[in-house]
Amino acid sequence: MKCIKKMNDFVLGILMILLSAFLVFGKITETEVKTGQGGFLVRSDVWLRMMGVFLVIVAVILIIRSFGKKEGEEAEGFHFYLDSTVVAVIVSLIVYALALPKVGFMITTFLMCLYLVILFSVKEQSLTFRTVPKALWGKLLVKGVLSAAVMLAVFWFIFGKLLSVQFPTFSLFG
């Protein structure tokens, strides 16, 4: 494909379209709210389908931007790398998805946000968890706790209060 300037963007766009097709057309949630409260926008399938539509729009833009190689310009080939940060995020998302129904939305989301803020703060400073100076840990924890608390409050207000979405609650022993 000689007209593609950025092969990674092109491949990512195709993968995003496939994921959005799964979100839009797949049967991944129940389509009826069990309590009948809140109306159409409370249904989880509506939000997943809306995310799928937004995802396909962004994917098309990404694919269009990946084209446009000018004559004599060097094209970026496809390259994929899997570093420890990518693996850590994937593992944390799997743990989050497994813990969410048992531990509840508030605790798991707070811990997930805290972990991701600290992870990316450490990466941003070109450090690893082993090489973070002890003096920096306090700042990272404060930044992480504040960021996670703000994000959780925003999620709770938008989805819990404005849209009346029922969050999973703590049910480890029940």
Domain segments of the chain: what residues?
7-66, 84-162
The pTM score is: 0.63
Average pLDDT over the chain, rounded to whole?
A: 81
Higher pLDDT, 31 or 154: 154
Q: How far is CA 46 from the centre of its chain?
A: 18
39: left (phi over 0), alpha (psi -120 to 50) or beta: left
Say what the pLDDT of residue 71 is.
Answer: 65
At 2, is the pLDDT very low, low, confident or very high (cuts 50, 70, 90)? low
**pLDDT single digits (tens) 23-57:** 788 766 555 555 555 565 556 667 777 888 898 99
